[in-house]
Amino acid sequence: MSDQLVLVTGGSGFIAQHCILALLSAGYRVRTTLRSLSREAEVLSNLRTGGAEPGDRLSFIAADLTADEGWAEAAAGCAYVIHGASPTPSGHQVREEDWVRPAVDGNLRVLRAARDAGVKRVVLTSAFGAIGVGHKPRSRPFDESDWSNLNGHVAPYQRSKTLAERASWDFIAREGGGLELATVNPTTVLGPALGPDYSHSIRLIKKVLDGQPGCPKINTCVVDVRDVADLHLRAMADPAAKGERFLAASGDSLWMVEIARLLKLRLGKSASKVSTRVLPNWFVRVVALFNPAMKGIVPHLGVTMNASGEKAQRVLGWAPRSREEAIVATAESLVRLRLVNTTE
């Protein structure tokens, strides 16, 4: 158990809240940032859903990635920082700059504040989007030596994660002082939702449960958010994690239809609307002409996106749950919280 203070940025986020739960369970005190303190009650409610009553072991502070105010106060007295705050696919971004600038500038603000406050290490929540996008099809799984090819087809969110992580490593090399950095690069993050504001990855499962007409030929690795949080804590405290990237993936990649079949098999009546029909690529391409959400997946049709979590297991002793457990836990939480309509 530890009584050290850890800053978790972006406390309203899905991964961040599970990191807070893991830190509290391990005995740490936690400070978390919110763009608006009006969301404090929501975060506390979600943490209670996750089984925590933090009391005075959790505090909140207002800080925004786009402004300097609040970050020095947020980092003051902290032994570690878990930096998860970043623009996510919310639908409000109009220009690529709306993704990239807050991600890059926000990372640098947090790193400067951490360095100036004497923080030992920052663990950056990066993404598979900084590793496995924009490449030609390949036979070997992606690993931590890979970087997304920004000359290929890279969506704004993935571009922002790539540029923000590269900027972070450059900062540490040029002006980090004694500050250490490690990154966690999760694949598709599933696992128990804590409330109605969950990650964009979980929407994939919600759409399947809600009865989307079929499954595009999309391939992805998955990982449970509880294991992502566990990996953050290991990357934070283990000396071996200094200066390292860690891919978070649980087993080989899956096709969307395999996920749908698993839900059919394991969820009974709650999966009554799930379709296991595979949508032909030509059909997806036609729909994408009129549907911006479908347009984004066209470059990934039929492409295997396998990634390896072996390094985290070997170096840090990380032992993630199975893919199946992560998928089923996601669906069960959505049903339990009544966030899907499972009736005919």
Average pLDDT over residues 28-32: 98
The larger pLDDT score, comparing residue 49 to residue 137, is at: 49
Residue 220 confidence class, pLDDT cut points 50, 70, 90: very high
Contact 279, 257 (CB under 8 A): no
Counted residue by residue, the chain has a size of 344
Average per-residue pLDDT for the chain: 91
> What's the pLDDT at 85?
84
CB atoms within 10 A of CB 88: 18
The larger pLDDT score, comparing residue 342 to residue 72, is at: 72
Residue 96 confidence class, pLDDT cut points 50, 70, 90: low
Q: Is 60 exceeded by the pLDDT of residue 94?
A: no
- Span of 121-135, 259-273, 290-304, 307-321 with lowest mean pLDDT: 290-304
Residues of the chain with pLDDT > 70, as a percent, come to 95
d(CA 183, CA 129): 13
d(CA 64, CA 325): 35
Q: Is 90 exceeded by the pLDDT of residue 98?
A: no
141's tokens:
């799984």
Q: Is 90 exceeded by the pLDDT of residue 100?
A: no
Angle at 199 between CA 187 and CA 144, to 5 degrees: 20
> What's the pLDDT at 169?
98
**pLDDT tens figures, 143-161:** 999 999 998 887 888 888 9
198's tokens:
């969950």
Quote the pTM value: 0.94
Residue 299 confidence class, pLDDT cut points 50, 70, 90: confident
d(CA 248, CA 125): 11
d(CA 215, CA 68): 44
Q: Is 60 exceeded by the pLDDT of residue 293?
A: yes
d(CA 119, CA 241): 15
> What's the pLDDT at 257?
96
Q: Is 70 exceeded by the pLDDT of residue 88?
A: no
Q: Is 80 exceeded by the pLDDT of residue 308?
A: yes
The domain ranges of the chain are 5-190+224-250+307-321
**pLDDT tens figures, 247-274:** 999 989 999 999 999 999 999 999 999 9
d(CA 257, CA 279): 9
Residue 292 confidence class, pLDDT cut points 50, 70, 90: confident
d(CA 200, CA 79): 30
d(CA 46, CA 34): 14
Q: Which sign, positive or negative, has the C-alpha torsion 108, 109, 111, 115?
A: positive
- Give catalytic residues, as residue numbers: 161
> What's the pLDDT at 89?
53
Q: Is 80 exceeded by the pLDDT of residue 329?
A: yes
Q: What is residue 225's three-state secondary structure? A: helix
Those residues whose C-beta lies under 8 Å from the C-beta of residue 95, and which sit 6 or more positions away, are none
> What's the pLDDT at 92?
54
Q: Is 90 exceeded by the pLDDT of residue 1?
A: no
- Crossing angle of helices 225-237 and 14-25, in 10° steps, is 60
The larger pLDDT score, comparing residue 290 to residue 77, is at: 77
Contact 39, 32 (CB under 8 A): no
Residue range 5-190+224-250+307-321 forms a domain whose CATH class is alpha beta
